[in-house]
Structure formats: C-alpha cells, structure tokens
A and B are shown apart, each in its own frame.
Chain A
Amino acid sequence: MNNDNSNPQYWFYLDNYVHLERLGNRVLLYNSLTGEIREYMDNQEVLHLIEKLQSPENLLVVQLGEKELKDPEISAFVHDMRNLFMGDLIEASRSTGKPIQLAPVLKLHRDADKMKTESFRSVGVNVMKYLDRLALYVNDSCTLDCGICSSARKQFLWCNRGNTGAELHIDKLRQLFDQLVGSDLRYVHILGGNILAYPGLHELISILVEHQLKRTFYIHYLNLAPGRESLQNLGLTLDNYSQMNVLVNFPVDEGKLKITCQILENFSIPVTFAFALQSEAEFTEAERLISALSIDSVSFHPFFNGQNLEFFEQGVFVDRQSLSAARPSLKEIHSRQVMNPFLFGNLTVLTNGDIHAGINDLPLGNLSKDSIYDIVYREVFQGQTWRRSRKQVIPCRDCVFSALCPPLSHYEYALGKNNLCRIWPLNIDGKAAN
C-alpha cells in the first residue's frame, strides 16, 4: 500500500446504522439514528464508489487516496457522509490492513420464500405464532344510515351495515377459539352491524374472557345514545382486557354524541372515540367537539370518498420531510423489505364466514370449511398480504425510498395507487418522473 507522506491513504467506510439503497442511477443513504437522508442521482463517481462499497469483497470499506479525495464529486460525497455521521475516513497508517464493516444485511432465518425452495424445511414451522389479531364481523344488522360504512370498513376498522341478517354463529366462534390455544393471538376486535344486536355477544365475551384475549368493541355512537340499557347488553367483564371504540362520522348529532359521552363517563373500561374524517373542515370540527365534550382518548381515520384526494395528499401522503421525521429504525426498514408489519398477523372474519388477511384481498378460506391452521399456513405460504412489501408493487419497487415508507395499508386500495407520496413529481399519467 502506498502510504507515504506525499500520498496518504484512507479507509473510507459507511456506518452500519446507515440504510443504503441503490437503484439504477439513484442512490439513497439514510441515517437511522438521526433521520437524515441524502440522495444522489446520475453522479457517476458516487455511483461507482457506492458500487465498490457494496461489493462483498469490500464490505462497506474502500481505500481512498489524496487523488480520489481531490475529485470534487467524491470529496463532496465523503464530506456529506462525515457531516451527517453516516461514514468516515480512517488514516490507513493507523492499522496494518484493511478493516471491514459488518454490513446491515438482513438475515431472516425463516424466510418463507427461501424455505419453500428447501425440501428439508417446512414453511409451516411455528406459523400459528404469527397470528396476532382477529377482527370479527359478528353481524351486519344496523338501523343507522351513515352512508360511509361499506367503504370505510375497507379502509380501517369500522362497522358495516348489510342488513342481510347474516351473522357468525357462536358455535363456530367457539370452535375457532378452541383451535387457537397454541397461537400467539392477543387481540380480538368485535364489529357489526350493531354488535349490541348480536345474540351471541354474551357468550362471545365469555369465550374471550376464558381465553384471556384483549378485546375491543366497535360501536357507533348513535347505537349507544338511546340509553344505558343497550350497554348492559354488552355484559362487559370490566377488566384490563376490554376496551371500546366509539365510532363517529360526520355530520355529527352533537346532542346525541354528548349523551353518549355522559353515558360512558362512568364506564370503567377504556373508551376511544374514533372519528372518520373526509376533509380538513371535519377535522377542525372534530377537534372542537373533542374539546367541547372533554373527550380524552381519540383516534382519527381519514376516509377516502372518491372526491377528497386533496385531503389525503395533505394529510396522508408522505414526503421526504415526514419520512425523515418518522425516523424508522434499521429493524423497521428490514421488516418493511420482506413483510408488511402493519398487516402481518391480522385476520378478518366476515359475517359470511370468509376469512381475509387483508380486507381488500381475496379470502383465504371460510370459517365453515377451513381450519384456522390451513388459513394461516396458506397466507404465510402465499404471502398475499402479510408478506407483501413495497418492494413487490409498482411503482414503489423502483423507488429508493420504498423501505423508508410506511407499509402498504388499505388506503392504497381505496385510492387505487400504491405511491401515496409526494416524493417524486408526477407525470400526467400518474407515474413518477425519472
């Protein structure tokens, strides 16, 4: 190694808390400790250097001499990396040979796609450990006419009026939970229709108590307002495992919402008011109601009605700043590369018994015909929902930001596009400009 005083040599390296993505002529570097992002495009010197850093022989360390460091592009890049604490230079004379960096390459030992190719391994190992949450649509009868429910429940957990009289038979649910003793199921969401009209509710609650499962009841505020008796129908076991989500959508009957709040005031399980919002104005109104009625716990759910894209662009779409501010960890980035951490482990059972991993995806089977083991195995094997990452969808798969972005949600279906972002300027056809 030439390391005389006239031509000092350095080891240039990247820190391994830095996420590096190179696609074509674009490079993204992200510091998972600070949230800083740097992008390089069409910079041949930097691209070449990144390529060298990423090669298995270099493990994120390359030698740079004075000559390379005088190159303005390389110099600016190295300077950037140092300033942002993403990389550094070490004088080569401080050791007797080249160091390595333990590159942040994800190793998932039970990667389902890899296991499928290995005859001596089975994708089915421990699959039931993956089941975490169940959403049960126990009935579809409801006397309200909110207008949004059939679309809203495809975007977030929300009740749904069908009025077909369909409901999940309690015996089927008992069989279901009896199969789940060895699973890691922790949460059950109970939704209708109006669940207070579900005849099996008391028994369902006993089953959930017996299995020590955390449970959340979803009830529209107008179904609670008539009086306290309806709440008694819940027969709630008031323990730490129960909570209620009171659903509110606009226009709001403030008087009835007030009565609901009064009814729930002395209710001893945690209550969250979930607002479905279609516009900034509704958001403002929701804030006023929350303040006026002294509501403690709330959640907001933007609802796409086909005409409020602008509201979503402002409130839901991500951009460089919001991604940086969210500061996903390297582990979160790794998970987003191979799975959907948002939907993983969730199953939804509809009143007709159909079971979905994602409410907008095809059913995996039916409660009447399939064992829950088959359903979970099918989902892990196929990877239709739980393992679908942005790396697999257009146009995100061609974007260097894909692993920084939040996982795919139900909104992508509702809006009919995967890139709910303002990262790239769009062409007329909606595709990201290069």
Chain B
Amino acid sequence: MKMLKSGLLFKSKLQNKYFYDRRCGTSMLCHPLLYLLLEKHNRGIDMAAWFEETVSGAAETVSLEGYGAVSRLELEYYFRKFTILRENGFFEETDTENLLSGRLKPDYVRIALANVQQVTLEVTDACNLDCAYCGYGKFYQDYDRRENKFMNPTMAKTLIDYIVKLADSPLNYSHQRDISIGFYGGEPLLNFPFIREMVDYVGQLNPRHNYFTFSMTTNSLLLEKYMDFLVEHKFNLLISLDGDEYSNSYRVCKNGSPSFPHIMRSAKALREKYPDYFREHVGFNAVFHNRNSVSALHRFFKEEFDITPGISELNTIGIKDSMKEEFRRTYANVNESLHQAEDYALIEKEMFIRLPNIRSLGSFIDQYTGFGYRDYNDLISTREGLKRIPTSTCLPFSKKIFLTVNGKILPCERIGQQHGLGWVDEHGVNLDFEKIADLYNSYYDKLKKQCTACAAAQMCLQCLFYLDIQADNPHCSGLMVEKDLSDFLSSHVSYLEEKPETYTRIIQEVSFE
C-alpha cells in the first residue's frame, strides 16, 4: 500500500501560507499558526499529545519555534480548528496505489468509439510546403514514410460506416451531438476530390443520434480555389501561419520560396468574399519557434485579421539524435517569450486561454480548488472510493480516432505513428478491443511505480504517448515529488495574488470538455 500525505503545505512568493488537501481535493489560505500545526502533523507528530504537553502547565503565553510567542488561547483556537478540519476528513493519508488501480476494459474502448467526437482522416501525406520543423520532417523519426499518397475513399468510408454503426447502437450515450470529420495532411486540399467525396458520402448518412460537421487544418495555398465549397459546408478552418514574413520563414514552398505572400493572399481573399464565415469558422495556428515571439504574433494577427491565434510549441517527442542540436536552436518557449513581452498585460488579456500559462492556471483552478465539476453527475456523485486509470492519457477513441493515409488507426494525430491500434483494409476495420485494453494496461503497469509515488498522481496531466512508453522502463517527465507539486501550486497561487480577478474570469469563461 502506498500512502501519500494528504495535506500539502505551500507558500506563495509573498510568503502567504496555504495548504492543499489531497483527499478533499481543495486548497485554501491558512493562518500561519495553523500552518505550523500542519507542519508538525505532517512530520508524524501526535498532535493531541503535543498540544497537551505544550499547554499543560504553561503560562498565558507560549513560545513556538518558527512562530514566536503565542497566547495559550490562540493556540487552543488553532488546535480546535485543526481538529474540526480533521473531523471533516482533512489531512488523512491517501492510498494512491488503490486509487490508481483502475484498469481499461475492452468494453470501455468499444463504448468510447460509439461516442467518438472526431474522426480525423490523413487525406494525403503529400504537401506543397517544405516546413523546416514539420512533424513529418527532418527532426522526427516517429512517423511512417511519406510517399505522396492520397487516401483511398473506400478505406475512409469503411471506417465511417463502422463508427456510424456503433454510434447508432445503444452504446452511444449522447444525442443530437456532432461527429466532426477532420481533414488532415500533409496538405489536405491537395486531395480535394477525396474531401468532396467524403462530404457527399456522410451527407447521405443519417445517424440516429449524431450529425456531421467538418474541420480542416490547411496551409491555405489552395484555399482560393476551393473556398466556395468549404464555406458551403461550413468547414471549421484552421490556417497554419506563423506570423509576419520573417516569423513565417520556416514555412517555405517546395522551391524554397517563402509561403507567406500566398497564405496572406488566400486568407484575405476568403475574408473579403465571406466575412461572416471568416469571423465564425476560421482560426489561425502559429507554430512557435526561434523566429517569432508572442508579442509579434499577437500584434500581427490583431492588425492583419483582428483575431487571436492559437500558438503551438514544437513537439519535443520523437526527435532524431542527430537533429537534437538543431531542434534545440529552433525550439522556443511560449511562456518565456510572453514574460519578455512589453505589452504582456494586453497580450494576456486578449489571448487569455490561448496562452499556456492561463491554460495551466485553468487546470489548477479546476483540479486543485475542489469547486470544478465536469457535469451534473459529477455534482451529485461521491468521489469516495473512485478508482482512476493512471496518467492523464485519453482513453482510446474517447475524443478522436485518426486514420492515416496508410490505413493505420491511431487514437490521435498528435502522437507517434508507431502507436497504431488497428488498421483498415479491404476486409474492413480491424480493431481488437481486448488487445487495445491489454496494451494500455501494460503501459499503465510500466508506469505504476512512478504514478503511485507521484505527488500529483490524482491530478496528472501527462499523456503516456509523450513518453518513451515502448521502452522497458519509461521515465515519466511529469513525475512530481512533493516539492515539485508545492512549487506548482505556489506559482499559480502567486499569480492569483498578483492578478486575483483572473480567477473569476477563468471560472466564467473557460469550460473544459
């Protein structure tokens, strides 16, 4: 049995004192004297005995190491407060081994697929750009060979039919909810006939509980040619653009010429012709690297499109050994850039949840205050005795399913393509739910020792596919000892001490699915 202390003490930068109670799932401001008592409790001291010993025969005032003189009455008061909290379940140890003993069952995988929210199709592995940092480019080794293939429509239809059949079954527990068909590449518009065929195909399907929507990530070079179609079918469009000409200079055409003028021309043409659609359905994603900055990105997109972009850092997983140095030079950290920005406050106000520091603060408020609830069932159920599946990895297909151009099925497009869970071929969809559950459970087993010792195990944010999970003894980069968790809590509370109004804004504006 692995027991973790429940009450984790931490101080803000301003030296205010707080504690997080693991068992009750809540964090709160703490009087320094109560904090002192909790420190003693955490050291394993029998508090009742300590209190008796300290006050018995003592004068009106006692001196406590680390606090100073305190009246006997005050000490009694805080001991009483400590006792009330204890009587209400605070400061009890947590059995993380039992807590994290949840297992993935084959049925969960089947049910997840019946409720899948997004089907992402790798329309082609071909691209009309040659971006230096491409996820399928020179830096990475964890993808299937690029062969300029186009996806076979029959293969995609086979998968969609399979999903619709499951979604029409009673295993689907949603109703009147969309299934988003995501077109992904390479550059998906290079295979436009496929896109048109798929849109037509799903248009004649009539699933019982769902309807289809469409989304696409594009470099927009071919956007002008196909925009009428995309607008007609209300595609949610994500245009990849890294900022101004220099910022975007890693994104070059096959002949090495800059892509920037082409992207700008097509994006502006779309806005010109369809301003309402542009406002409601178009977003930009900027990859962050050493040639752009948060400040420049914010300014550029504001001035050019009156929009705040999404910002993604380069994926640090699956880098070839030989490319690590060049990757290191190319990589840049969004938070660091944000803190160097002169217009920090304005950027933060306008970009808000699109910034990683605010997203992290949102997670903190959701998971460490005890006042965040997923849905109505969460509000009325007890969390007592709940067994969690380790790590924060999405259960397979609980959010999306990704079909590669080669027919491989993955749980997500953002993970290495060595993690295939099945495939589609001329015989149909090959998914063995038992094997998938076994595979995931074997990964959990590899991490179990680290997870049960992790101070943040209950609130893990780590996806196991971002670890070297196929190794015999993968190391979890998210592993936290108590000090790491204290620092994490402290940094967020310190931020809120500086900008308290952010707390309310996050609660009002940010919802997690």
Residue ranges of A at the interface with B (Cβ–Cβ < 8 Å): 13, 15-17, 33-34, 56-59, 61, 82, 85, 88, 90, 94-111, 114, 119-130, 178-184, 330-331, 334-335, 338-339, 341, 344-345, 373-374, 376-377, 386-387
Contacts and interface: CB of A to CB of B under 8 A. Distances in A.
Contacts of A82: 77
Given A33-B84, A105-B371, A130 B377 contact: yes
A111 B510 CA distance: 12
B191 interface: no
Contact of A102 (B28, B77, B87, B377): B28
Contacts of A184: 173, 377
B16 A182 contact: no
A127 B377 CA distance: 10
A337 B327 CA distance: 51
Contact of A124 (B111, B175, B379, B504): B175
Contact of B172 (A103, A111, A182, A335): A182
A101 B29 contact: yes
12 contacts: A33-B84, A58-B500, A95-B17, A100-B497, A100-B503, A107-B372, A184-B173, A334-B379, A338-B376, A338-B379, A339-B379, A339-B380
Contact of A108 (B12, B16, B176, B375): B375
B29 A106 contact: no
Nearest to A329: B88
Contact of B111 (A15, A94, A182): A182
Nearest to A376: B175
A105 B366 CA distance: 11
What DSSP secondary structure best describes chain B's contact surface?
mixed
A107 B376 CA distance: 11
Contact of A107 (B366, B500, B513): B366
Contacts, number: 193
Contacts of A34: 84
A102 B114 contact: no
The 6 closest A-B pairs by CB, nearest first: A99-B16, A97-B14, A181-B170, A128-B173, A56-B504, A124-B176
B173 A94 contact: no
B373 A334 contact: yes
B379 A100 contact: no
Q: Which of A95, A96, A119, A121 has the most CB of B within 10 A?
A: A95
A292 B439 CA distance: 61
Nearest to A101: B29
Contact of A99 (B29, B175, B512): B29
Contact of A100 (B84, B371, B380, B496): B496
A44 to B, nearest CB: 25
Interface string B491-513: 00100110011011101000111
B369 interface: yes
B373 A109 contact: yes
B257 interface: no
Contacts of B85: 33
B507 A105 contact: yes
Given A56-B504, A107-B371, A182-B114, A15 B173 contact: no
B119 interface: no
Q: Which of A16, A34, A178 has the most CB of B within 10 A?
A: A16
Given A58-B500, A99-B29, A335-B379, 18 more contacts: A82-B77, A90-B31, A95-B15, A96-B14, A97-B14, A100-B497, A100-B503, A102-B28, A102-B365, A105-B371, A105-B504, A107-B507, A110-B511, A125-B174, A179-B170, A181-B170, A182-B173, A184-B377
A126 B177 CA distance: 9
B446 interface: no
A94 B12 CA distance: 12
Contacts of A108: 373, 375-376, 379
Contacts of B504: 56, 103, 105
B483 interface: no
B173 A90 contact: no
Contact of A59 (B115, B173, B208, B503): B503
A16 B85 CA distance: 12
A184 B172 CA distance: 11
A207 to B, nearest CB: 14
What DSSP secondary structure best describes chain A's contact surface?
loop
Interface of B: 12, 14-18, 26-29, 31-32, 77, 80-81, 84-85, 87-88, 111, 114-115, 169-178, 208-209, 236, 280, 365-366, 368-377, 379-380, 493, 496-497, 500-501, 503-505, 507, 511-513
A344 B28 contact: no
A56 B171 CA distance: 43
B497 A110 contact: no
Contact of B500 (A57, A105, A178, A374): A57
A110 B375 contact: yes
B105 to A, nearest CB: 15
A116 to B, nearest CB: 12
A99 B26 CA distance: 17
Contact of A181 (B171, B178, B208, B370): B171
Contacts of B29: 13, 15-16, 61, 99-102
A142 to B, nearest CB: 34
Contacts of B507: 105, 107
B28 A129 contact: no
B395 to A, nearest CB: 14
Contact of A85 (B18, B84, B500, B513): B84
A16 to B, nearest CB: 5
B371 A104 contact: yes
A107 B371 CA distance: 6
A119 B174 CA distance: 17
Contacts of B84: 33-34, 85
Nearest to A96: B14
Contacts of A344: 376, 380
A334 B173 contact: no
A387 to B, nearest CB: 8
A29 to B, nearest CB: 16
A105 B510 CA distance: 13
A178 B170 contact: yes
B15 A126 contact: no
A178 B168 CA distance: 12
Q: Which of A56, A111, A334 has the most CB of B within 10 A?
A: A56
